[in-house]
Structure 1
Amino acid sequence: MNVPALLPALLLVAALPSLALAAERPEGIAAAEAIARAALGADCDMNGMEDVPMAGPEAEGFGHALYRFAYKPGYDPNGPDIEAEIYQLFCGSGAYNIRNAFVLKTGDSDTPKLIAFATPHLAYEYANEENSRLAADPRIDGFRATALLVNASFDEKTRTITSHTAWRGIGDAWDSGEWVFRNGDFRLTRFEFDPTYGDPDPTVPKSYVVYEAGK
């Protein structure tokens, strides 16, 4: 058996998966990456990867995704549909969280834009040193905008982006948000969090829904 003669063929076969991934990257993904990197810098370094693959539904977030749909604009509800593209970008990962950015391109504009998500700023105090109980119910003392979500996903049926941030590895403290696409942009519709650590206490709420649209 002539092993050296087989090496070129084996190397070619080994390279095929990466070539296929590169071929699957859609037009527009490079521009979306450039927008996110320029705006977010080291927060969207994509773990140093030069070519982030397009991820399937079972890829656990370590890749980009592209979603397409059409919608009726509020300013012309009887007019033609507007085509939209949403690029969900893998910006990086830590020990137990994945950072995502989203870039939106609509048919009525040639310029893709980085989506900024409204999130509440929460005021609360702990009642003990273990941080297992709050001294009082939390409250919102303002809102901020962020272009990075954590462990995010997009539901194509409801056109909703959700996030779920684990505050530490075991996930006992966390926050979660929902943003729904309406008339060309995403609006915060729900935000829930659990700031308490340790074993669940039956006398403490499991979580706090601090914002819900319409309430």
Structure 2
Amino acid sequence: MRFIASVLFSATAFALPAAAQDAGWHSAARDKAIAYHGANMPKDCNIPVSDAASVPGHELQIGEETAARQALIMEFPCQAGAYNTTSVFLLSDQHGTVSELFFPSPQVDVRYADQADATVVEGIVITGFPLMREVVKPVYDSSSRSVTERDKWRGPGDAYSTTQWGFKNGKFEIMLFAVDATFDGQDSPVTLIEIDIW
């Protein structure tokens, strides 16, 4: 099983100055990101991008004010499965640079009291943080500069993991990671990571 936990973006979100908003770079940045995604889709992505207007874009300022540049975070649907949908993200700035965004994603080891009955959990351990491009059912909130996902696990009973990250110091930092590993139909997540980054 794959469970997503954290994400690093080389960006910091601020309110955009009026001059940058009126600079007219948004359309070009969107088109660049769409073209890049079409030419560099991860091999597992099976959802083509054909309509530029349907691709969400969220404004960000990258870097400190004295050397800042404006950019859009663009979310592209990647996979649609029976349990989850996934997206990948690109950062497209006002100067025409497009960057892939990667997500350190924790793997977890779940120990059940009875391997034939996954309703009683003895322990959950985070075993690693591989970098991934795909995020499961992401929701970006521009007002709080945060991303939240909910990754439903395969099997009956609605076991899942949920993760929330926020922008700070030029990257997305993890704020919350919780797991409901019991396939019992109940909503009972266990919080494994909780950090007040603000």
What amino acid sits opposite 2:124 in the alignment? P
Change (3 A) 1:40 1:51: closer
1:83 lines up with 2:74 in the alignment: no
* 1:85 Cα offset (Å): 0.8
Deviations 1:122-171 (CA, angstroms, capped at 9, x unpaired): 12211121211112x31222222111011111101011111111114766
Aligned counterpart, 1:206: 188
Consecutive unaligned residues in structure 1, runs of 5 or more: 1-24, 56-63
Structure having the higher strand fraction is 2
Deviation at 1:38, TM superposition (A): 5.3
SS at match of 1:28: helix
Deviation at 1:30, TM superposition (A): 4.6
Aligned partners of 2:56, 2:49: CA distance in 1, in Å? 16
Q: Is the 8 A contact 1:117 1:187 kept in 2?
A: no
Task: Answer yes or no: is 1:138 the counterpart of 2:124.
Answer: yes
Equivalent residue for 1:112, pick from 98, 102, 126: 98
Alpha-carbon distance between aligned partners in 2 of 1:148 and 1:155, rounded to the nearest angstrom: 18
Name the structure 2 match of 1:54: 53
- Residues 1:185 and 1:170: Cα distance change in structure 2 (over 3 Å): same
* Aligned-residue offset at 1:54: 3.5
Do the aligned residues in 1 keep the contact of 2:32 with 2:96 (CA within 8 Å)?
no
Deviation at 1:50? 5.2
Match of residue 109 from structure 2: 123
Specify the code of the residue in structure 1 equivalent to 2:29. G
TM-score normalised per structure 1: 0.67
Between the aligned partners of 1:34 and 1:43, the Cα distance in structure 2 is 18
Q: In structure 1, what is the equivalent of residue 60 of structure 2?
A: 69
Q: Deviation string for 1:36-78 (max 9, x for gaps)? A: 45555332231xx4514534xxxxxxxx21111336x3xx45x
Structure 1 SS opposite 2:120: coil
Give the Cα separation in 1 of the matches to 2:118 and 2:56. Answer: 37
Higher relative contact order (CA 8 A, sep 6+): 2
Residue of structure 1 equivalent to 2:21 = none
Matched, 1:165 2:164: no
Q: Across the two proteins, how many residue pairs are aligned to each other?
A: 171
Q: Which amino acid aligns with 1:167?
A: W
Mean Cα displacement is larger for which, 29-38 or 117-126?
Answer: 29-38
Give, in whole Å, the separation in 2 of the partners of 1:104 and 1:119. Answer: 19
Aligned partners of 2:49, 2:73: CA distance in 1, in Å?
Answer: 21
Structure 2 SS opposite 1:44 = coil
Q: How far has the Cα of 1:199 moved from its partner?
A: 3.8
CA distance in 2, matches of 1:94, 1:198: 22
Q: Which has the larger radius of gyration?
A: 1
Structure with higher helix content: 1
Q: Alignment RMSD, CA only?
A: 2.9
TM-score, with normalisation over the residues of structure 2?
Answer: 0.72
The percentage of counterpart residues that share the same residue type is 24
Indicate conservation of the 8 Å contact 1:36/1:114, yes or no. Answer: no
Deviation at residue 88 of structure 1 after TM alignment: 0.9
